[in-house]
Structure 1
């Protein structure tokens, strides 16, 4: 029998940032300590980032680790989809002196967080403004450095399973002539155009560059951060057009995922999803989400929410550890 530890290290490792926190587990509650965010590019490995987190914490870390990784976690040797970091479960246990390690996909962790938080942490985006169903499938999707997706299968209010996916790497399906042109141009670089080539942080750049080509304008904003800032602030007309197209594509993709999962609700996560919380409701997201031909009425009746918890990956990693520990009791 395995009883959950009182304190663990929770980690959420993406292509751009590595987030850490000490999670305190007390009965049914999980409380996160002050999170520490590090840039993955500033560290050669996870072990290096772990040591920096320990240094900043000023104390010895717990030896139980639950870690969410932006990539598949079903092999002995793991790698980030959008970073050079590599992970080996046995080596991590040995080098860090861990008692146990729980590994899960980053959007699997977000799905665990969705199952853990209450409705107060879920912001209405589209569809009927009603609570998530207590039973059935909830699609969890969101853009960040890539596009993450998972399915939350709720068997009851308190019993659930998480199905981790790599749906962000499915082929993108254009819905109009402009998207045909976007895919045509991107195919020159990528040959196969997956949905995360458009619906992700870098995806806005891809859309923006093709729009500049179509409009015969100079793509004057080069940095990704600057492009997102200009688009959200509505200070550059071409960037704003790119953002609206981004939201339309995101809606179409989220609707496709919901159909594929047989879902009855959708929750948006991801770093970019959080930045879009005020923009999405008034964008073309909802129309494209529901534009599914014979299934349009089904999609239009589906609540779409956005998780507002400040660190869903860290919370979800801790929740996954608790679920795993209880299952082994």
Structure 2
């Protein structure tokens, strides 16, 4: 049995949980602790806060999922000011073993190990499971837009080398408008950004620009509202303009999910992240599936591709622990 700390650091929240990896690879996690990144000056101070809440001591092993590029001497986060220097982890945290993966690579690891009942259908043939071999595209909107892919060769996932995970920075590819409303959203964003990436339109905070663009198109006056307020008003149906903004978001999510599936040669797609789970019923009622399929000559292929949403409550934490177990197998 190996004990470790699983950590999932995003732009807004840092989640911590104690985890245990059994000899057969089974992973068990305690209830997570969620901290706001803005409440802590650094990752180390957040780690110390979690350590204090956990009785003052932590296991000497850590699995980290981070919202940024990994592999360098310094890890900088895309949407928060923290930095991590992997070479100092043992000195600063007391962790003799560590694994660091991109946040959506961690989600892809969770997808690899998730049970069939932990997925719900968003598009494609109903009830068809994800294929056991080939590439699964994993995307998810949150503070930004995460993208990764999972490749499986059809063997049981417990066999060494049977699957591979690749994190990407796909959320920073260019946004491609498909109609006049998309054109208007792009024009609005170009006033502030020289280059408009996909996550400027498909992420939690992006709902503000979508909402304000729709208001401008209808020549409405509006009070500035936070993204949380717009999401709440839109998903509850109490505000028709906010609801239209949420539906437009779902259209764009469907478009980019289809684009990534084509680019990665995918045979299936998984949408992940807390935002996707919270608006799952809205996605099902929206034009998400139509936009996903609308790929011209490849429409029939897209229509036959299973698109799922993972319902695991903490895929980033669980996936980080899975990645640790693969990198540090028990003897």
For residue 43 of structure 1, report the CA deviation from its aligned partner: 0.3
1:152 aligns with 150
For residue 59 of structure 1, report the CA deviation from its aligned partner: 4.3
2:53 aligns with 56
CA RMSD of aligned residues (A): 1.2
The separation in 2 between residues aligned to 1:161 and 1:122, in whole angstroms, is 20
2:10 aligns with 14
Runs of 4+ with deviation above 4 angstroms: none
Per-residue Cα deviation, 1:281-327 (whole angstroms, up to 9, x for no partner) = 1111000000000011111100010010110000000000011123x
For residue 74 of structure 1, report the CA deviation from its aligned partner: 2.0
1:121 aligns with 118
Per-residue Cα deviation, 1:220-243 (whole angstroms, up to 9, x for no partner) = 351221111111101111101101
Q: Is the 8 A contact 1:69 1:105 kept in 2?
A: yes
1:263 aligns with 266
TM-score, normalised with respect to structure 2: 0.96
Per-residue Cα deviation, 1:132-191 (whole angstroms, up to 9, x for no partner) = 111000000010000000000011231210011000000000001111111011101112
Q: Which runs of 5+ in 1 are unaligned?
A: none
Aligned runs of 1:55-204 on 2, under 5 Å? 55-129=52-126, 130-156=128-154, 157-158=156-157, 159-204=162-207
2:32 aligns with 35
Q: Is the partner of 2:136 in helix, strand or coil?
A: strand
The separation in 1 between residues aligned to 2:308 and 2:223, in whole angstroms, is 34
1:295 aligns with 298
The size of the alignment, in residue pairs, is 324
Q: Is the partner of 2:312 in helix, strand or coil?
A: coil
TM-score, normalised with respect to structure 1: 0.96
Q: Which runs of 5+ in 2 are unaligned?
A: none
The separation in 1 between residues aligned to 2:273 and 2:78, in whole angstroms, is 15
